[in-house]
């Protein structure tokens, strides 16, 4: 591990823990194409307890699950089992029953109509399927509050049987699209999504601490969720735990993992799909997935409709951003040093990553704090990334 990089990043992590407002604990990992070049942690897994955060501390990784589900979809596409442009209902019939919502009647009943076209798996991977989240969308929040629509955190089929906000392919809206993509994979193979991930991603990459259901070893290293109240104070939520025997393996948010494990996943993308124990994706598939799939359409910021779950969230405000299969793509060079065309995304409990295939570098930042887009967490992640590029620049 390079001592200069280690010193800089250890300082970033320590400052984020001791700052005001700070974070309870953070773990981070940076990888190049060959190996993890930095692994560090600071703070504790739970405020008020002597449980040090470590690089292998286990977090609920929320939407950083999505790229792993996308990888399984791409594998099935390579095998000729999944036509990305065929109706998704061919593989997951339940999605064919869903309608488009056009508003609400005077009595509060949703006004629904049939979609003008069938949603495809490609549209799901691009978040053009019409699905949303209640914490980012007013219509879905109204369905939850007035019509009893269950939260996706329940990991139930009922939580996914929501109306579409628009006809597939006509707009971009971040939501449960990738959960449906996971059900597509299950429909094709007859296997649960977790098994497909284990066989196709985790085993070839040596990701031993990644699963929907935590092993006893993972449970011992589990990080407590913390809520930041309006005053900025962090309060541990000892009751929070994703369902360990979920009805649906939620491809959009359901995994548990570590910064160390996710660095291995990032490294596979840096290496054109190759892993230490076998190839995960073909180089041409990786190149396809890393391209903008939206055309001239751009993604938008995410409004914090439920303040306890998310603040307003947007990476590099004012900068145009696209979407691939299944990552955000910054269309211009970012102020951190991240070049145009790099891949990135995040998870609700303030987990963040980026994948710079051009320079062969990427990293993962793991905290367990709600609401999303926590200023201390986002600021720390971006400072970490900036330090990585400064270190690279100094070496060149």
Q: Which of 44, 57, 63, 377 is catalytic?
A: 63
Are 176 and 252 within 8 A, CB to CB?
yes
User: Running DSSP on this structure, what letter comes out for residue 96?
Assistant: G
Selected catalytic residue, list 38, 133, 174, 389 = 174
Tokens of 157: 């089929």
In three-state secondary structure terms, 133 is coil
Q: Which is the catalytic residue, given 38, 66, 222, 389?
A: 66
353 annotated active-site: no
Closest CA to 379 of 22, 55, 30, 57: 22
For residue 345, give every residue at least 6 positions away whose Cβ sits within 8 Å of its Cβ, in sequence order, or none. Answer: 63, 64, 66, 67, 326, 327, 328, 352, 353
Question: Across the strands, what pairs with 322?
Answer: 329
Q: Is 191 a catalytic residue?
A: no
CA distance 248 to 158: 10
CA dist., res. 228 & res. 111, Å (int): 37
From CA 197, how far away is CA 178, in angstroms rounded?
A: 14
SS3 346: strand
- Residue 112: phi and psi, rounded to 5, are -120, 155
Residues forming beta bridges with residue 52, ordered by sequence position = 44
Q: Which residues of 190-207 are buried (b: 16+ CB within 10 A; e: fewer)?
A: eebbbebbbebbbebbeb
DSSP 3-state of 19 = coil
**Is 234 within 8 Å of 227 (Cβ atoms)?**
yes
Q: What share of the chain is helix, strand, coil (3-state, %, to 5)?
A: 35, 20, 45
Query: Is residue 204 classed as helix, strand or coil in its secondary structure?
Result: helix
Q: Is the dihedral of CA 85, 90, 94, 97 positive or negative?
A: positive
Query: What's the half-sphere exposure (Cβ side, CA atoms, 13 Å) at 188?
Result: 24
Catalytic annotation on 81?
no
Closest C-alpha to 58, from 262, 212, 219, 275:
219
Structure tokens at 342: 């790099």
Tell me if 71 sits within 8 A of 279, measured CB to CB: no
Active site residues: 63, 66, 174
């Amino acid at each position: 591990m390079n001592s200069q990089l280690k010193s800089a990043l250890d300082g970033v992590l320590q400052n984020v823990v001791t700052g005001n407002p700070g974070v309870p604990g953070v773990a981070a990992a940076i990888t190049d194409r060959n190996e993890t070049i930095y692994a560090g942690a600071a703070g504790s897994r739970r405020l008020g307890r002597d449980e040090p955060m470590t690089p292998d501390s286990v977090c609920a990784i929320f939407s950083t699950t999505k790229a792993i589900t996308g990888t399984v979809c791409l594998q099935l596409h390579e095998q000729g089992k999944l036509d990305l442009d065929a109706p998704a209902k061919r593989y997951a019939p339940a999605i064919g029953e869903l309608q488009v919502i056009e508003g609400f009647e005077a009595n509060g009943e949703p006004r629904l109509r049939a979609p003008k076209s069938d949603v495809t798996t490609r549209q799901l991977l691009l978040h053009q399927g019409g699905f949303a989240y209640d914490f980012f969308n007013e219509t879905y929040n109204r369905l939850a509050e007035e019509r009893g629509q269950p939260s996706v955190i329940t990991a139930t089929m009922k939580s996914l049987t929501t109306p579409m906000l628009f006809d597939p392919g006509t707009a971009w809206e971040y939501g449960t699209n990738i959960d449906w993509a996971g059900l597509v994979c299950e429909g094709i193979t007859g296997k649960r999504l977790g098994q497909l991930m284990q066989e196709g991603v985790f085993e070839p990459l040596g990701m031993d601490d990644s699963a929907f259901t935590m092993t006893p070893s993972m449970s011992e290293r589990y990080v407590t969720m913390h809520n930041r109240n309006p005053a900025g104070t962090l309060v541990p939520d000892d009751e929070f735990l994703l369902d360990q025997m979920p009805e649906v393996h939620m491809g959009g948010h359901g995994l548990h993992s570590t910064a160390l494990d996710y660095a291995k996943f990032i490294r596979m993308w840096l290496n054109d799909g190759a892993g230490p124990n076998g190839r995960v994706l073909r180089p041409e598939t990786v190149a396809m997935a890393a391209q903008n799939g939206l055309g001239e359409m751009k993604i938008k910021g995410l409004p914090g409709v439920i303040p306890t779950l998310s603040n307003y969230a947007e990476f590099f405000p004012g900068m145009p951003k696209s979407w691939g299969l299944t990552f955000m793509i910054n269309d211009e060079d970012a102020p951190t040093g991240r070049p145009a065309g790099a891949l990135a995304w995040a998870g609700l409990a303030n987990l963040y990553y980026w994948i710079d295939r051009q320079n062969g570098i990427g990293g993962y930042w793991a905290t367990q704090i709600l609401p999303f887009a926590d200023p201390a967490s986002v600021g720390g992640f971006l400072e970490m990334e900036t330090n990585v590029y400064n270190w690279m620049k100094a070496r060149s």
